[in-house]
Amino acid sequence: MQVMPRPRPPHLHREITRHGKAAWYVRVGKGPRIRIRAEFGTPEFDVEYQAAVSGAARPLKNAPAITTLAWLVARYRGTSAWTELSVATRRQRENILRHVLETAGDKPFASIGAAAINAGIERRAKTPAQAYHFLETMRGLFRWAKKAGMVKADPTADVDAPRRKQGPGFRAWTEDDVAIYETRWPIGTKERVWLAVLLYTGLRRGDAVRLGRQHVRDGVAQLATEKTGTA
């Protein structure tokens, strides 16, 4: 027989069925009773309980089961931990999450451990930048999940960030390089405009591609940057 938790979590009730088995329900105030289907004492039970208490236990038709990684990501997208990220960061992480969900969206998120995170890093080992951003994305997800009581441990906590390749990087242009380019692309060409934007504004690439005539007033270009919102 299952042991009644002590102290019992709020709004959690147990009934014995006519077959002598324990059935667990959540009822908040005078609201509807919500059956917890998972086995008591499992991480899946904790997830269903938290979802029932928060009012998220009645998913829409064809919505992911509340024990899956897809469900956890959907909940994460509706939190301040996600919305407070910059637009550029959300766009980058959304792209990573899309690929993750294509391969593991139907997996129970409670079963994801450090080994799965390390395997994801290894699959991206040829592109260390992608591996690093994958880890940061999953770390943000599971840090929130742990604080929200969705998981008992953060599987990314003890995972080391992948080492970035050391090298000279791209060669910086000299003044002679700029002069050669300007000779090839005179004022009035799109290529010359791009050189001016990248060379003289100091904008990040993501902001440089947004800059246009709509941002120019009285000969001065001004826009709010994606990453920090600074004008």
> Is residue 59 scored above 90 in pLDDT?
no
Q: Domain boundaries in the chain?
A: 12-54, 69-147, 175-221
For residue 230, the tally of other CB atoms under 10 A from its CB is 7
Q: Do 224 and 230 form a contact (C-beta atoms < 8 A)? A: yes
> Is residue 206 scored above 60 in pLDDT?
yes
pLDDT digits (tens, 9 = 90+) for 143-172: 999 998 889 999 999 999 887 777 777 888
pTM above 0.95, yes or no: no
Question: Which fold, 69-147?
Answer: DNA polymerase; domain 1 (1.10.150)
Query: How does DSSP assign 180-228, residue by residue?
Result: HHHHHS-TTSHHHHHHHHHHHS---HHHHTT--GGGEETTEE----TTT
pLDDT digits (tens, 9 = 90+) for 113-148: 999 999 999 999 888 889 999 999 999 999 999 998
**How far is 107 from 67, CA to CA, in rounded Å?**
8
Start-to-end C-alpha separation, the chain: 64
